[in-house]
Amino acid sequence: MPHIGKKYTWWKAAQTDVFTWNPGLSGRHQIWLSWGCGLSGRSNTTKAVHATDAEYHLDLDGDLETQDDRRLIAIVNQQKLADGSDTPTELVGSSGSKNLWSGLYAAGIHELKRTSLIVLRGGSSEAPVTADIMVLQQAADSLNSQEPNPQLRPTVQTRQNSERFKPVESKFVRFTILGTNSGQPCIDELEIYTEGSDSRNVALASAGANATASSTLPGYDIHKLRHINDGLSGNSHSWISNETGRGWVEIELARKSTVSRIIWGRDQKGNFSDRIPTQYKIEVAADAMRHWNLISSAEDRLPFVSATKTNSSSENNGGLFYSLIDLPEDAIIVLKELIDQAKALDEKLDKLARDVPMIYAGQFDQPKELTHWLYRGDPF
Ligand SMILES: [Ca+2]
Ligand SMILES: [Ca+2]
C-alpha cells in the first residue's frame, strides 16, 4: 500500500462530533477509513494515547440536526492498525513516539446520498481521535460480501508506472492527461508492449511507430515530441505538452499488434517530480477512424500525494509505509538504506528522550536593584 497518510489531524473531544466528510456520491459504496495510529507524539515525557473507541457515523441527509437518519458504522481502536494488529515496536520506536498510518479499514457497504456526511466522533474519553484519508469504492450489485482489500492500484509514481490490461488489438494508442501535480505534463518515455513471451516495445520510433500530440512546449530541445518514443529516459529526453495540466500524445504503431502492457514515467532517472500526470486515461483503437476503447486510467489508483517535504522536524512525519511497487531496484536499495538510517536516528532520539536527567538550572547574578525579602504578611 502506498504511503499516503503522511499527515493527519487530531482532536481531543469526548462524545463530540469533530470532523465530517462529504464524499458527494450517491449509491452503494464500500467505505474505507484510515487514521493516524498509535500515540499522539511526544509532549515532553507525557504520552497522549489515541482513543480506543473513536466512532464513525453516517448521517444520510447530511443535516447534523436530524438524528433519526444517522447511524453508527464503525467503532475504531485508533491505537491499532486497520487490521487490528498492534503497531510494531520497530516502527514506532521503543517509546512509541512515532505515529503510523493505519492502512485502510473496511467500514462496510452503505447507501449514500450526495448530501450524506460521514462523521468522526470522539470516544468515551478525551483521548485524541485522528482523521486521515477515506476511500469510497462503488459497490458492484453482485457484491454481497465485503472485499478483503480495496481494488485500488498504487498511486502514480514519478519514475515509472505500469498499466496491465486484457490483451487488445491496437493500431493507435492515446495517452490523455487530465491533471498534473504542477504545470504542463511531462512524460519521458511511453512504452507499449506486445502480449506473449516475445513481448517487445512496439512504441519505439525505431520499430516504425509514429508519435503525434495535442501540443508540445515550444523552445526546449530537451522536451520534443520525438522524445516520447526515442528509447531514452530522463528529463532531457522527454515530451512536455503546451497545456497546463492537460494534453495528449498518440502513438501509431507500425502495424496492428496485440498489446497488454504500457510503461510510462515522468522522469525515470528520478531527478524531477513536477509535471507528473496524476489524472490520465489510456485508450486504444484498431482502426483509422479512431474508435477509442478505454483500457486504463488513474481512476482505480490511490490518490496522488506530493512527495514528502524535506522538513524532517515536522510533526507526525513518522508514517512508515513505503511502496516498493514500480520502483527500480537501485531506488529500492537506496530507500532501504534511508529507512535503516531513519530507524537508527529514531532509536537515538528515543534514548535521548528517556535518559535525560531532570535538572533545575539557573545563573547566579548580583541583583542590579535593591532586593526586598518579603515575609508572608509583612508590609513594605
Ligand atoms: Ca441527519
Ligand atoms: Ca524518451
Ligand 1 midpoint to CA 133 (Å): 23
Please check whether residues 170 and 289 belong to one and the same domain: yes
CATH number for 110: 2.60.120
- Give how many domains the chain has, as a whole number: 2
Please check whether residues 143 and 165 belong to one and the same domain: no
Residue where the block lists cell 513481448: 199
Higher pLDDT, 297 or 379: 297
What is the pLDDT, as a whole number, of residue 278? 94
Please check whether residues 194 and 228 belong to one and the same domain: yes
Domain boundary among 271, 300, 329: 300
Q: Which ligand is nearest to the CA of 60?
A: 1
Please check whether residues 185 and 144 belong to one and the same domain: no
Ligand 1 midpoint to CA 74 (Å): 17
Burial 58-96 (b: 16+ CB within 10 A, else e): bbbebeeeeeeebeebbebbbbbbbeeeebeeebbbebb
Q: Which of 28-42, 224-238, 278-292, 310-324 has the lowest mean pLDDT?
A: 310-324
What is the pLDDT, as a whole number, of residue 44? 40
What is the arithmetic mean of pLDDT over 134-147?
Answer: 66
Query: Does residue 306 lie within any of the structural domains?
Result: no
Ligand 2 midpoint to CA 322 (Å): 27
What is the arithmetic mean of pLDDT over 275-287?
Answer: 96
Higher pLDDT, 222 or 334: 222
Domain boundary among 300, 327, 359: 300
Please check whether residues 75 and 177 belong to one and the same domain: no
Ligand 1 midpoint to CA 71 (Å): 9
What is the arithmetic mean of pLDDT over 198-203?
Answer: 95
What is the pLDDT, as a whole number, of residue 301? 83
For 141, 231, 260, 324, the CA distances from 328, given in Å and listed in that order, are: 39, 17, 21, 8
Ligand 1 midpoint to CA 160 (Å): 45
Please check whether residues 372 and 286 belong to one and the same domain: no
pLDDT in tens, 311-357: 333 233 333 345 565 677 788 788 878 878 877 887 787 777 777 77
Ligand 2 midpoint to CA 228 (Å): 5
Query: Does residue 307 lie within any of the structural domains?
Result: no
Q: Domain limits at 34?
A: 1-149+315-380
Domain boundary among 267, 300, 333: 300
Are β-strands 36-37 and 100-101 bridged in parallel, bridged antiparallel, or unpaired?
antiparallel
Ligand 1 midpoint to CA 119 (Å): 10
pTM of the shown model: 0.52
Q: Is the pLDDT of residue 5 over 60?
A: no
What is the pLDDT, as a whole number, of residue 210? 98
Q: Is the pLDDT of residue 305 over 90?
A: no
Q: How far is CA 53 from the centre of its chain?
A: 25
What is the pLDDT, as a whole number, of residue 304? 80
**pLDDT over 70, % of the chain:** 82
Query: Does residue 166 lie within any of the structural domains?
Result: yes
Please check whether residues 289 and 320 belong to one and the same domain: no
What is the arithmetic mean of pLDDT over 247-265?
Answer: 96
Q: Which ligand is nearest to the CA of 239?
A: 2
Grid coordinates standing for 367? Answer: 541583583
Ligand 1 midpoint to CA 116 (Å): 8
Please check whether residues 8 and 131 belong to one and the same domain: yes
Please check whether residues 136 and 242 belong to one and the same domain: no
What is the pLDDT, as a whole number, of residue 190? 98
Ligand 1 midpoint to CA 17 (Å): 13
Please check whether residues 106 and 86 belong to one and the same domain: yes
What is the pLDDT, as a whole number, of residue 341? 85
Q: Which ligand is nearest to the CA of 205?
A: 2
What is the pLDDT, as a whole number, of residue 235? 95
Ligand 2 midpoint to CA 55 (Å): 50
Q: Using an 8 Å Cβ cutoff, are 40 and 10 in contact?
A: yes
Ligand 1 midpoint to CA 283 (Å): 42
Q: Which ligand is nearest to the CA of 223?
A: 2
Ligand 1 midpoint to CA 73 (Å): 14
What is the pLDDT, as a whole number, of residue 288? 92
Model confidence band, residue 45 (pLDDT cutoffs 50, 70, 90): very low
What is the arithmetic mean of pLDDT over 259-279?
Answer: 93
pLDDT in tens, 79-124: 888 887 777 777 766 666 667 888 888 888 889 999 999 999 998 8
Please check whether residues 76 and 1 belong to one and the same domain: yes
Query: Does residue 73 lie within any of the structural domains?
Result: yes
Model confidence band, residue 194 (pLDDT cutoffs 50, 70, 90): very high
Are β-strands 161-180 and 189-194 bridged in parallel, bridged antiparallel, or unpaired?
unpaired
Query: Alpha-carbon distance 297 to 282, whole Å?
Result: 6
Query: Does residue 308 lie within any of the structural domains?
Result: no
What is the pLDDT, as a whole number, of residue 220? 93
Query: Alpha-carbon distance 126 to 53, whole Å?
Result: 11
Query: Does residue 354 lie within any of the structural domains?
Result: yes
Q: Is the pLDDT of residue 10 over 50?
A: yes
Ligand 1 midpoint to CA 60 (Å): 6
Model confidence band, residue 133 (pLDDT cutoffs 50, 70, 90): confident
Ligand 1 midpoint to CA 64 (Å): 5
Please check whether residues 181 and 262 belong to one and the same domain: yes
Average pLDDT value over all residues in the chain: 82
Model confidence band, residue 223 (pLDDT cutoffs 50, 70, 90): very high
Longest dimension (CA), the chain: 104
Q: Which ligand is nearest to the CA of 268?
A: 2
**pLDDT over 90, % of the chain:** 40
Query: Does residue 309 lie within any of the structural domains?
Result: no
Ligand 2 midpoint to CA 205 (Å): 10
What is the arithmetic mean of pLDDT over 192-215?
Answer: 95
Query: Does residue 264 lie within any of the structural domains?
Result: yes
